[in-house]
Structure 1
């Protein structure tokens, strides 16, 4: 008999990002290796905050930002990006807590499905999402830069 054990989700203080949080959030994303030269994190945050169908959620332990998730929807399905938990505080359940908050935000927006993308080389993160009940989709993602940039290689 196999018994599944669910880790408790810590009680982080989770709220939408504030102006004063932006530098700390970007620093966390950089510490987690989430930023890429072709994506300006400040612009990504501004874009997420511009419309009511997206935001950046920030999880705090005391005054420290220890987790984030950019969440939004296109009216059909939800998406999550920039999921981060402080690398010095891993295995405390912060990733689970911020993902639960992202799921709750999307559920409140009426989204029946959540999708996210994981880079192929990030097997550890794929295992994390599988532990939360996510399944690998049999979908190929195509992309095109609309601003004339060449795709990163």
Structure 2
């Protein structure tokens, strides 16, 4: 298993993985999300690859105040093999090297299995409400 920085040739495999992991929503065009990420800190967009191809992703960002983790995905057939833990650990390492003091992420509150996964990695629920406002419709 190799972790590496995303390359443009990975796009179709990455989007297929996100669809297989049920991460894609109608209001977020995954191709546009990738294009936007490549403009800002592309080194924080990681893929996990094995002989079968791309089996994991993690997209992160750091704004100088907080780090964020997005699009953590592991192919259904590769789950429960510590790949998600490995991707999160690498994101944490990269953000820490940038001086990032805290990492945030969002999980749909109905996704209890994923919440449990993150809790096992030391994440805790913050006492805050997540608000959003779309500036550019996809």
TM-score normalized with structure 2 length:
0.93
Structure 2 unaligned blocks of 5 or more: none
Tell me by how many angstroms 1:52 deviates.
Answer: 2.9
How many aligned positions are there? 138
- Are the equivalent residues in 2 in contact too, given 1:71–1:78 (CA < 8 A)? yes
CA RMSD of aligned residues (A): 1.6
- Report which stretch shifted further, 123-132 or 49-58: 49-58
> Over residues 26-56 of structure 1, what are the superposed CA-to-partner deviations in whole Å (9 max), with x where a residue is unaligned?
0000000000001011111111110237632
Q: Which residue of 1 aligns with 2:20?
A: 31
TM-score normalized with structure 1 length:
0.84
Q: 1:109 to 1:33 in 2, by over 3 A?
A: same
- CA distance in structure 2 between the aligned counterparts of 1:61 and 1:74, rounded to whole angstroms: 31
- CA distance in structure 2 between the aligned counterparts of 1:24 and 1:67, rounded to whole angstroms: 10
Structure 1 unaligned blocks of 5 or more: 1-11
> Over residues 127-153 of structure 1, what are the superposed CA-to-partner deviations in whole Å (9 max), with x where a residue is unaligned?
00001011111111111122378xxxx
- Are the equivalent residues in 2 in contact too, given 1:53–1:74 (CA < 8 A)? no
Tell me by how many angstroms 1:83 deviates.
Answer: 0.4
Tell me by how many angstroms 1:108 deviates.
Answer: 1.5
- Greater helix proportion: 2
1:137 to 101, 105, 126: 126
- CA distance in structure 1 between the aligned counterparts of 2:137 and 2:35, rounded to whole angstroms: 21
1:1-80 map, 5 Å: 12-52=1-41, 55-80=44-69
Answer with 1 or 2: which has the greater Rg: 1
- CA distance in structure 2 between the aligned counterparts of 1:38 and 1:107, rounded to whole angstroms: 31
Tell me by how many angstroms 1:58 deviates.
Answer: 0.3
